[in-house]
Chain A
Amino acid sequence: DIVLTQSPGTLSLSPGERATLSCRASQSVSSSYLAWYQQKPGQAPRLLIYGASSRVTGIPDRFSGSGSGTDFTLTISRLEPEDFAVYYCQQYGSSSPYTFGQGTKLEIK
């Protein structure tokens, strides 16, 4: 199985600041089959980014994804109050099973 390790576990920032979340894979993620989700309390995860860097329609352009191979990053350029949530990365390539990182909690400083 591909293990995804997210860092940091918790990130404390203020609105307007830039957030950088990391996701490192234990082996190369094929064809950049890497996604990012946002989850707020009591809600299902929401898909933000797929293919490592493609933003889902309707997701604000302050969200961006980058990376390849084993190292991936989600960047939120200027934090809005509604961005504080838990973020998960997921690999969904042919190397079944699909796996998720343990999550990064983005909290208000």
Chain B
Amino acid sequence: QVQLQESGPGLVKPSETLTLTCTVSGGSISTYYWSWIRQPPGQGLEWIGYIYHSGSSNYNPSLRSRVTISVDTSKNQFSLKLSSVTAADTAVYYCARHPHGDNSPTDFWGQGTLVTVSS
């Protein structure tokens, strides 16, 4: 059974860069597409972007100028960097797997990690 676990700071200062890592266990990061999705407190879901094990990526245009997603196949991890954060970036951040290519929904999710942007 594939498991995903997000890790990173729970508090980030405004204007700084949010960095999170998703560690995949119980399976290889290769073959699949992997996404980051976020959910502000009490609100809905927003797709941030995905990456393939080859390094190919695609981002939500609304965040593209600030987002970088990278993959480290040797560690079975992929990461999210979101720059110039503001309070509007406060959210629970999830990592998730696309089982059948980029045109598939996400079947396995991490438990999520709350990131608060505040000075």
Contacts and interface: CB of A to CB of B under 8 A. Distances in A.
Interface of A: 1, 31, 33, 35, 37, 43-47, 50, 56, 88, 90, 92-94, 96-103
Given A35-B105, A44-B94, A88 B58 contact: no
Interface of B: 35, 44-47, 58-62, 94, 96, 98, 103-107, 109-112
Interface core residue of A50, A97, A101 (most chain B CB under 10 Å): A97
A45 B45 contact: yes
A109 B110 CA distance: 31
B7 to A, nearest CB: 15
Contacts of B47: 97-100
B45 A100 contact: yes
Contact of A45 (B46, B59, B109): B109
B3 to A, nearest CB: 12
